[in-house]
Amino acid sequence: MSQPLENKQPHKPATRKEMSRRQFLSYTLGGAGAFMMGGAALPMVRFAVDPLLQEKGASEYIKVVEESKLTAEPQEFSFKKLQVDGWYESEVKMKAWITKDENGVLALSPVCKHLGCTVGWNNSAAHKDQYFCPCHGAFYTKDGKQMAVARAPLDEYDVKVDNGIVYLGAIKPNTRVK
């Protein structure tokens, strides 16, 4: 059998490793540098994230037209809306196709749901009394229901009628068609 190996060297007492001046300066300067970088980066992160944390307010309604001017035939109306992107405010020109029938006032967005082109009412000989997108041939019924090419109906605006004036709010999915 083999004999166990004996350690012939006596155990040395544990020595405590001291921190050198170079290590101390490295740790101190590294920590101070990280603290200062964090202080510089925090405002940038706050600037980027703050608009996302803001609460969305209630939809503002914009005065567009007098109700007496509306007909059963869709009409295009332009209006301006204040748009806020982060801290940048701009006035955006928008359009809506507005009609009035037995179900009330309907305001449709002119943005085609296929690829975002602008639709027009009765602007195609092949598609009488329909919204038509000249870009890719999508067309929609008077209520905004898609008939070809597009995958969804035209969006509609929130509508409020007050004292004979039509006000438009936020855009939402079409509620009249399924």
Percent of the chain with pLDDT over 70: 92
Q: How many Å apart are CA 133 and CA 125, to the nearest integer?
A: 12
Q: How many Å apart are CA 146 and CA 133, to the nearest integer?
A: 11
Q: Under the phi-then-psi rule, with left for phi > 0, alpha for psi from -120 to 50, and beta for the rest, what region is 69?
A: alpha
Mean predicted confidence (pLDDT) in 26-42: 92
User: Which tens digit of pLDDT belongs to each residue from 101-133?
Assistant: 888 888 988 888 888 888 888 777 777 888 888
How many other C-beta atoms lie within 10 A of the C-beta of residue 46?
A: 10
Confidence of residue 57 (pLDDT cuts 50, 70, 90): low
Dihedral (C-alpha) 88, 89, 93, 95: value to the nearest 10 degrees? 90
Could you give the residue ranges of the DSSP H alpha helices within the chain?
A: 21-53
The predicted pLDDT at position 56 comes to 66
- Strand boundaries in 39-136, DSSP class E: 62-66, 75-85, 88-101, 104-108, 120-121, 131-132
The predicted pLDDT at position 151 comes to 85
Tell whether the torsion through CA atoms of 94, 100, 102 and 105 is positive or negative. positive
DSSP state of 171: E
The predicted pLDDT at position 7 comes to 61
